Amino acid sequence: MVCDRSVAFCVGGACVAKDTKERILAAALEMFSQNGYAGTNIRELAGSVGMGKSSMYRHFESKAEIWNALLDEMIAYYAERFGSPEHLPPVPDSLEGLVAMTMGMVDFTVHDEKIVMTRKVLSIEQFRDARARELATRHFLTGLTEMFTQIFAGMMDKGLLRQDDSKMLAFAYTAPISALIHLCDREPEKTEEAMAQIEAFSRHFVKTYQKTGE
């Protein structure tokens, strides 16, 4: 039987197409996030993976297919990471726990290079590609909001937050944090400052919406 690269169970120095494909996509993500799709050329892309230009076409039949495959990967990664309910973080047991959990999430999402580059690509290409547009809305707006809608509902049930519209609270909480994450993407030298701002905002938020009296 012929080596099936779509499954990549082959071993040794050869038949590593799957691997190469992923290295290409990783390099593409990096270049697209810096110069955009139109501003990236195949020669540089191939060079950064250590290949000649033409070898690229053994793995992808066109530049557009690289873009689509990258988008597929980003969509799949997002669905796996944020789409399923079992990946919901546990409802915090205290207001301070909410702050800590928030800072943990932000710290991860701001320092994970792949996620940072994904946000950049989506910012650049959101007006040109319909699927990028959809994913951008989920990344930048609805994803975090839906997640925190459930968390806040749980915290209200526990009596940690005052009874209120949990969806509205989630939106009011995540949108400012999202804005500061964007700032970190744009001006990485301000990351520390932005993280401090996020923590201050988080504390202000819990002070505002905490359950008072009984």
Q: Which residues bind a second copy (CB under 8 A)?
A: 33-39, 120, 123-124, 126-128, 133, 136-137, 140-141, 165, 168, 171-172, 175-176, 178-180, 182-183, 185-187, 197, 200-201, 204-205, 208-209
Q: CB-wise, 51 or 105, nearer to DNA? A: 51
Structure tokens that stand for 63 in this block: 């530049």
Minimum distance, C-beta of residue 126 to DNA, in the bound complex (Å):
20
* Residue 79 interaction partner, one of a second copy, DNA, none, beta carbon < 5-8 Å per kind: none
Q: Which long-range contacts (CB under 8 A, 24 or more apart) does 130-139 make?
A: 131/71, 131/75, 132/71, 135/71, 135/74, 135/75, 135/78, 138/78, 138/82, 139/78
Q: CB-wise, 48 or 197, nearer to a second copy? A: 197
**Nearest of 6, 34, 31, 30 to residue 20 by alpha carbon:** 6
Contact 74, 118 (CB under 8 A): yes
**Nearest of 130, 143, 21 to residue 81 by alpha carbon:** 143
Minimum distance, C-beta of residue 9 to DNA, in the bound complex (Å):
10
The identity of residue 179, as a single letter, is: A
For 12, 16, 22, 80, the CA distances from 6, given in Å and listed in that order, are 16, 10, 12, 20
Q: How far apart are CA 170 and CA 176, in angstroms?
A: 11
Q: CB-wise, 59 or 153, nearer to a second copy? A: 153
* Residue 127 interaction partner, one of DNA, a second copy, none, beta carbon < 5-8 Å per kind: a second copy
Q: CB-wise, 16 or 36, nearer to a second copy? A: 36
Q: How many helices (H) and strands (E) does the chain have?
A: 9, 0
Distance of alpha carbon 108 from the chain centroid: 10
Minimum distance, C-beta of residue 211 to a second copy, in the bound complex (Å):
14
Minimum distance, C-beta of residue 57 to a second copy, in the bound complex (Å):
22
* Residue 150 interaction partner, one of DNA, a second copy, none, beta carbon < 5-8 Å per kind: none
Report the interface residues with DNA, using CB under 7 A.
1-3, 5, 10-17, 20, 40-44, 46, 50-59, 61-64
Minimum distance, C-beta of residue 47 to DNA, in the bound complex (Å):
9
Minimum distance, C-beta of residue 36 to DNA, in the bound complex (Å):
11
Q: CB-wise, 37 or 152, nearer to a second copy? A: 37
